[in-house]
Chain A
């Protein structure tokens, strides 16, 4: 846990919180519109993959997720026993291609990779940014680009314009283990040099708490995945706004254990099949995510 906490890992999550009635309604509508798209048949190349990687066929694997990111992974408000979102669908498509089923284990964000490396989970598909630091704990198959948004209170009273000296003296809410944490910390010497007060960090466990911190006036900003920020603004249009979108040089990745290269290669091959069949793009549209997120997969693995 501490490993991730201190690093730059970055992640994204989307969160959203707060709007009570609007969001509820929105989620219902969203789910209603999208439901028909979810049934995809396995792409043609998958039969060959199942022959090449027979070990995973018929298995039930455990996917560790931090289900606090509507759009990517969260429980279904209509049936709270189910998890729904882009990552959930993508994982099930990969599973279908290789012939395995997934069950879910909900943990805090900071515990995702520990859960994987302790063997309590087989795979992590939970909107986690693949960084060099995190790749020391797991291998990543990247599948999405990262765009961050800066969430602030309505009217942007502190005039924050990104992760820069405009944040000096502001309070930033972040999730423990997020890659934004070290980026904000890196501002401290800059602010000092400019003779301004340091920014402070408030660490929480999930998106909901970060957004609540802004709504309660405890924090001035929350920098996270742009889709998460957009949803938060949508849920609380009177109280929140997105100050700006920033690009961050990471990719989102699927994490697998370092000691299972065959599984890693199988997941990579399956993801390529899923993308070739157009399913990846369909899912982005289904969950109303920016299609510019789409990325051809790579493997990030460090010794």
Chain B
């Protein structure tokens, strides 16, 4: 025991820790840099880069670290690259860690919800901006535990540097054992030192997780993480947090934060007058002979559609009829095979010289043309509060100052009746509230056209109305130009100037909303309307 304590405090072993830590740090830092490059190559659009990165991964993940160490130390000098022992060990460890770290990074990036990426694109964010503001912050949170693992494993793997004469803890322990014969005392001592080091890594990991925890609340909670029951507590807390908004809003009574129903539902006559008036307005969106195929399947088969400023057009049609694809083309979230899309007189999708745009150029085009989009699944940025969901893109894409962006976010959240939930994370909001934030976010840059892709389809029936009410007010009070794909026939009748009925990628019938919905000329339209009426009647209480 006294020998054990003697070796535990022996400066010779303690100094060995320094080499262990240096090799580990070199390995992790180099591995992170190399891993970032590898992950970027694997995620890139260019297959050659992806294949090169794959090849590297196969080689360096598939051979033992001890061979890589010996190679870096003894073989590299043959080509004139003579690194110090620590340098060679750090290089080998970095080369070995890189593929593992790259896979972690890739998993983190791919794990971020595709819908949020789509929403970011729709807001005009360039790929780099998306990576920095949306993907990376979420991916890093999910990667912290894996990084902790990797750090511990690198720390232990650094002991292999003993074969190439790095004076780290393991080498010093074996040398000491050989000269003193105190085999067990020495190895228990160095084992304990390793344990202390890895425990240190665990503590750092917990601190980082805590610091990045979006649900962090009180300063007391910061220490509570070290208590074993804390984890259970955290899980329950999350569950409670999710239930909270639902409990606060009994579905029967109108909840306090739902905007008051429009005091004066526009009369049929008013709507007709409005429709007649917008027909004299300028063209906001013009789609000409748009065609698109996925493989052999035709999704858009020559669509023509003109929407004028201030007009509200409802797209109806069965699932798979091409409504969503048409909306995505109007925002250039999808490419098309032939045809033309003009927004505000500007033709989308090609440079002046006719070449296709890069993703970055498309993003800038979207931001400048001004098309807002609301998705079926809301697609809020889940790491940002309601306010930041609205204000963030204003700052990043449109260069607004923080003060201006926050003011604008407050106004818009107020307009959708959610100013009291501005600091809530999306996961603490109900579906209806999330969709209202998404509408506020889409409206923030003052788009010339707002596209809504089945905005209420993912909502529980009792939450549909609060969202429809917000859209109704945008249409009637604000006169916003909107294209809505929806199954809410009665709602379409109330707010839309015109209805277009899509089937198999073509517009079968279009015209004044009330006329088409009450008196369809095409048999397919009639069939669809009767089916939807029967199916959807419980939801059509608006």
Contacts and interface: CB of A to CB of B under 8 A. Distances in A.
Interface of A: 1, 15-20, 22-24, 27, 64, 67-70, 74-77, 80-81, 105-108, 111, 114-115, 117-120, 205-208, 212, 235
Contact of A24 (B13, B70, B73, B182): B182
A106 B171 contact: yes
Interface residues of B, number: 30
Given A20-B3, A80-B172, A107-B164, A206 B178 contact: yes
29 contacts: A1-B70, A16-B181, A20-B185, A22-B181, A24-B181, A24-B182, A27-B179, A64-B165, A67-B179, A68-B178, A69-B178, A70-B178, A74-B178, A77-B179, A80-B10, A108-B163, A111-B163, A111-B165, A114-B70, A114-B74, A118-B73, A118-B74, A120-B74, A120-B82, A120-B165, A206-B178, A207-B178, A208-B174, A208-B178
B475 to A, nearest CB: 77
A105 B174 CA distance: 14
Contacts of A205: 174
Contact of B175 (A23, A74, A212): A74
Interface in B67-90: 70, 73-75, 77-78, 82, 85
Contacts of B165: 64, 105-107, 111, 115, 120
B183 interface: yes
Given A106-B165, A106-B167, A115-B165, A17 B178 contact: yes
A20 B186 CA distance: 11
B47 interface: no
A67 B180 CA distance: 12
B12 interface: yes
Given A68-B178, A108-B163, A206-B174, A17 B73 contact: no
A165 to B, nearest CB: 32
B18 to A, nearest CB: 13
A76 B184 CA distance: 18
The 10 closest A-B pairs by CB, nearest first: A80-B12, A74-B179, A68-B178, A23-B181, A118-B74, A208-B178, A105-B165, A118-B77, A77-B180, A107-B165
A80 B12 CA distance: 6
Given A22-B181, A74-B175, A120-B73, 17 more contacts: A17-B178, A20-B184, A23-B181, A27-B180, A67-B179, A68-B175, A75-B175, A80-B175, A105-B85, A111-B164, A114-B74, A115-B165, A119-B77, A207-B178, A208-B178, A208-B183, A212-B183
Contacts of A208: 174, 177-178, 181, 183
A43 B185 CA distance: 43
Nearest to A26: B181
Contact of B181 (A17, A75, A105, A106): A17
A75 to B, nearest CB: 5
B193 to A, nearest CB: 15
Contact of A17 (B12, B163, B177): B177
B50 interface: no
B424 interface: no
Nearest to B179: A74
A18 B164 contact: no
